[in-house]
Structure 1
Amino acid sequence: MTLAEAQAGFIPSHLYQSGTHLIGGHWTPARSGALLDVHNPGTSEWLAQVPAGSAEDVEAAVRAAESALPSWRDTSPGVRAELIRNWAAKVDEYAAEVDLIESMDVGRPSWGPSQLAGILTYVAGQVDKVNGVSLPTHAPATLAMTVREPYGVVGIILPWNAPAPMFVHEVAPAIGAGNTVVLKPAEDAPLAPLVLARLAEEAGIPAGVINVVSGIGTEAGSALAAHPRIDRMTFTGSQTTGRAVMKACAANLTPLQLELGGKSPQLVFSDADLDQAVAGIVAGITLNTGQICAAGSRVVVEQSVHDQLVGKLATAFAAITIGRYDEPVHMGPLASARQLERVRDYIKLGIAEGARLVVGGAHPPVGVDNEHGYFVAPTLFAQVDPSMRIAQEEIFGPVLAVIAVADEAEAIAVANGTEYGLAACVWTRDIGRALRIATAVQAGQVHVNTSFPFGIIGAPFGGYKSSGFGRTMGADAVLDYTQIKVISIDAS
């Protein structure tokens, strides 16, 4: 189903205008007139065209954001909060349509009831609660205080794996704090961000507050990161691109928040409820076809239950159904031909490194359109050495590496033995062990007897080590888009 066909049958045509992006309240083509084709990764069918923005488009968007900034910054926090609540109501009104657009764009089956409006409502509740503090002074006639102010124009570069949630998680706190935004969605999945920007516009958020420039990373993305008038930058994506963004920001001393993925461990001990652990592990690696930065892609298991756990995982993997976004399946395709090739190459590498392939593999799975879609079977490796590349590098696909360890100390060493530190799970009935490991594991989030519960309300998200720095999504999300100023007054 193309987007045009979906619009004719289900999606209102006003939500998306082909070939345009949003700059200063105007839906315009790229300055060059160049276009990018967007395809459904489950069928390779053409969905739509978006502008191939360049540095010229980014410059126009930055100017628009600068023009809108003074008025938006000085708008009452109560009014900004109400406008974000209006945006939430619009998103809720069109929740099914937004979900369908993202499902077609990314290729994933529906995740169920949308959380987008709830995210926006939660952020709106923070906006009018941004407080400073009074400071002690040496002189009784001196008053001192802190105030929080927006940075100014915020640049945001989104990944392709979950564009709609990422859009609201980043844009809402930024504009809630009084900043204006220039955002570049991933060229592989730009449609949901453009639709969400349209709904923000319809909710009454003023022109120029949210600007969306579509285009490829090496052109529009590079221009945004390197722009000297961007006052704060946020990037989510690969380490390689993250380093390039950081280098570009360094030239202008632009404050930066990075989220760069992970190789998250699932630590399973002999006293764990293995059925509960298996359900959580399988869900954690097959959600979005493993294209989740926090996906639990390493199972670090006590040797005494290794074989039993591998057997249960193999059975569970074999039961995973695969298909298009519009089919009642557990798992969809990978997002692109490039990503499919990457995942298949890692599977071949795991075999070459000497790991034991239990289920799955690089061959196309049975029962799907292998000619047109980017499908791969959930793949399980056992007898994995911690030094193998499939145990060290982020694959970003449904590939699970099982590593046997002798005891708790070795489990912690293996868990911490990669350059990443985004998330971890611990499966044990021993609360003392759970607390010891939660303290010892180098990760931004540690979950006990549950698999990466994205439904936590107000949990800050981000990582240690090469997984990046800074946090998003938490109770301080709006505060994170402010800077602190000290004001003192000598009243004598």
Structure 2
Amino acid sequence: MDTITELDGELIVDRAQLIGGDWVPAAGGELIDVINPANGELIASVPRGGAEDVERAVQAAERALPGWRDTHATARAAALFRWAALVEEHADALDQIESQEVGRPHWGLSPMAGQIRFIAGQADKVQGLSLPTYQPDTLGMTLREPFGVVGAIIPWNAPGPMFVTEVASAIAAGNAIVIKPAEDAPLIGLALAKLALRAGVPAGVINVVTGLGREAGAAIPAHPRIRRVGFTGSPATGAAVMEACAKNLTPLHLELGGKSPQLVFPDADLDVAVPAMVTGITLNTGQICAAGSRVIVHRSIHAELVDRLAAQMETVSVGPWHQPVNMGPLINGRQHERVLGYIEEGKRGGAELVTGGGRPAGEDFARGFFVQPTLFDGVSPDMRIAREEIFGPVLSVIAVDDEAEAVEVANGTDYGLVASVWTQDVGVAVRMSRRIEAGQIGVNNALGSGVIGGPFGGYKKSGFGRTMGADSVLDWTQVKTVSLRGAAAPQL
């Protein structure tokens, strides 16, 4: 199947966004086309919402909030568990929707149902503390309460998992949410929201406003009655979101990408490391914030590693999402030009192009936003391809002479999201885990910790705050201190 047309009646409401439980057009009546990045063809159209639509969504969330906030936590969890069951039941259809709008081939078992279940299990574990007091007739305690109406803005690279990460955590805590998915990939979020309604999440608790970032997206952090915001995207946009939140003193979580290093030491098991590193940079066509885009290798094994990486990258098959391939296209024409521009920059900057470096040849790739898996050697840490997030399947190899230089190069960018260390030496693994500035360190794996419930977030310009961990619901709550003194005891 190469279209999602037959799924429209089941999971997609044509040309509609979700506000207050109703599927409605944009206030201005305009539409945005969602394009298949493999061939440039129209998949669907969604409303071009704006500030007026965000205001309508906030009002709907405010109406829904008291009832949902006051629903006991175990009942909220039960609704999320039902949502997870429906997501699992429709896993194939959801995968096809996201695969087509993002352009990625099938990844395997979707994490979304598991993510919702993990979060649902936290909903009735939100607890306060008993506090000591000066007087024996006084009780002291803390309460954890939802912020109220909250907002989120998510990108296009993994829109389904990001949607459930933000929405499930926020509503598990008792908030009502207004979320804007990326205009390039809004369909999976709309489908997930439809299943949440079917699971019994009340109308208005989840509101999905589709639109452009500079319109609908900008209206969320600027809204004075949105009490907390989550944003995932680029540092430049994150800074603008933070500035807008600052005007209203709105608490904010930011996840802003990375330039993740992979440190390869002389004792590394290259039979394991090489396939993992290639998968790490070609999965989702390199459009993953955690992608390991810099290989920092000890000079003694540098030549062997480059040869093996090149050979492995040349086995990566490329094609549209519905074919049994390893890698699909980039998301859109703007991103295609950007990635190809970085490849040209690498050549001009003096790096050695080992393999890839352009669009795949053939009629099958003429209309889509395809690019070859690309490997550069001879990269120096000051080159743009070694410092800036490309968000494409471009891997840079930097040779170093010792452990200290490896750490210096690894920490020598503005980012600090994920890092990988390839070694059999426990001492090296421990030292690197402590010295590398990143929110996640993977030893002998390529995309982070690979654990259930590992908090995810960054250091430096990769952002602040954490998602996905055991505190993900707590992060959507605020703390209230209560001092309770009883009336004086009657005299006998």
TM-score class normalised by the smaller sequence: over 0.9
| Paired residues of 2:420 and 2:448 also in contact (CA < 8 A) | no
Residue 300 of structure 2 corresponds to 304
Name 1:437's counterpart in structure 2: 432
1:279 to partner: Cα distance: 1.4
Matches within 5 A, 1:211-230: 211-230=207-226
CA offset digits 1:305-328 (Å, max 9, x no partner): 100000000000011000000000
| Cα separation, 1, equivalents of 2:164 and 2:107 | 16
Q: Counterpart in 2 of 1:245? A: 241
SS of match in other structure, 1:128: helix
Gapped runs of 5+ residues in structure 2? Answer: none
Residue in structure 1 matched with residue 466 of structure 2 by the alignment: 471
TM score, norm. by length of structure 2: 0.98
* Aligned residue number for residue 396 of structure 1: 391
Letter in 1 for 2:336: L
Query: Which letter maps to 1:149?
Result: E
- Matches of 1:198 and 1:455, distance apart in 2: 30
From 83, 95, 111, give the equivalent of 2:79. Answer: 83
1:458 aligns with 453
Q: Is 1:185 matched up with 2:206?
A: no
8 A Cα contact 2:419 2:448, kept in partner: no
* Residue 272 to residue 421, structure 1, CA distance change in 2 (3 Å): same
Change (3 A) 1:133 1:307: same
Q: Distance in 1 between matches of 2:475 and 2:418?
A: 21
CA distance in 2, matches of 1:53, 1:2: 28
Residue 371 of structure 1: how far off its partner (Å): 2.1
Alignment of 1:295-444 (within 5 A): 295-361=291-357, 363-367=358-362, 369-444=364-439
Match of 2:37 in 1: 41
Write the distance in 2 (CA, Å) between the matches of 1:2 and 1:303.
46
Letter in 1 for 2:103: G
8 Å contact from structure 1 (residues 134, 145) kept in 2: yes
Q: Which moved more, 1:453-462 or 1:397-406?
A: 453-462
Q: Distance in 1 between matches of 2:116 and 2:399?
A: 42
Following superposition, the deviation at residue 115 of structure 1 comes to 1.8
| Residue 153 of structure 1: aligned partner | 149
Deviations 1:202-257 (A, max 9, x none): 11110000000000000000111111111000000011110110010000000000
One-letter amino acid of the structure 1 residue matched with residue 298 of structure 2: E
| SS state at 2:456 partner | coil
The correspondence for 2:103, drawn from 103, 107, 114, is: 107
State the one-letter code of the partner of 2:5. Q
1:490 is displaced (CA, Å) by 2.0
1:356-415 alpha-carbon deviations (Å, 9 max, x no partner): 000010x21134623210000010000100000000000000000100001000000000
Per-residue displacement from partner, 1:31-54 (whole Å, max 9, x unpaired)? 110000111101111100000001
1:290 alignment partner, one of 279, 286, 289? 286
- Give the distance between the partners of 2:305 and 2:401, measured in 1 at CA: 15
Contact 2:222 2:245 in 1 (8 A): yes
Letter in 2 for 1:167: F
Distance in 2 (CA, whole Å) between partners of 1:274 and 1:25 is 52
| 1:126-145 equivalence runs, <5 A | 126-145=122-141
Q: TM-score, normalised by structure 1?
A: 0.98
Which residue number corresponds to residue 7 of structure 1?
Answer: 5
Task: Tell me whether 1:20 sits opposite 2:16 in the alignment.
Answer: yes
Match of 2:441 in 1: 446
SS of 2:297's partner is strand
Alpha carbon RMSD of aligned pairs, Å? Answer: 1.1
For residue 343 of structure 1, give the secondary structure of its aligned residue in structure 2. helix
Deviations 1:456-482 (A, max 9, x none): 210010000000000001111111110
SS of match in other structure, 2:382: coil
CA distance in 2, matches of 1:195, 1:454: 29
Q: Secondary structure at the match of 2:344?
A: helix
CA distance in 2, matches of 1:312, 1:44: 34
Post-superposition shift, 1:93? 1.3
- Whether 2:117 is the aligned partner of 1:121: answer yes
Return the alpha-carbon distance in structure 1 between the equivalents of residues 479 and 283 of structure 2: 39
CA distance in 1, matches of 2:302, 2:276: 16
The one-character-per-residue Cα deviations of 1:17-73 (angstroms, maximum 9, x if unpaired) are 111000001100001100001111011111000000011100000010011111110
Distance 2:152 2:2 in 1: 28
Report deviation, 1:276.
1.1
Q: Identity percentage over the alignment?
A: 61
What does the per-residue CA deviation read over 1:402-432, in whole Å, with 9 as the maximum and x for residues that have no partner?
0000100000000000000001000011100
Whole-angstrom CA distance in 2 between matches of 1:201 and 1:184: 17
For residue 414 of structure 1, what is the amino acid of its counterpart? V
2:115 and 2:436 map into 1 onto residues whose CA distance is: 29
Could you tell me how far 1:12 is from its partner in structure 2? 5.7
Alignment of 1:170 onto 2:166: yes
- Inter-partner Cα distance in structure 2 for 1:125 and 1:309: 43
**Residue matched to 1:200:** 196
Q: Name the amino acid aligned to 2:146.
A: P
> How many residue pairs get matched?
487
- The Cα of 1:455 is off from its aligned counterpart by 4.5
Q: CA deviation at 1:138?
A: 2.0
Q: In the alignment, is the contact (CA less than 8 A) between 1:149 and 1:483 conserved in 2? A: yes
Structure 1: runs of 5 or more not aligned: none
| Residues 2 and 428 of structure 1, relative CA distance in 2, 3 Å threshold | closer
Measure the CA separation in 2 of the matches of 1:170 and 1:359. Answer: 38
Asked if the contact 1:2/1:47 (under 8 Å) is kept, the reply is: no
Residues 163-217 of structure 1 show CA distances to partners (whole Å, capped at 9, x for unaligned) of: 0000001100100000000000000100000000011111111000000000000
Q: Distance in 2 between matches of 1:455 and 1:110?
A: 19
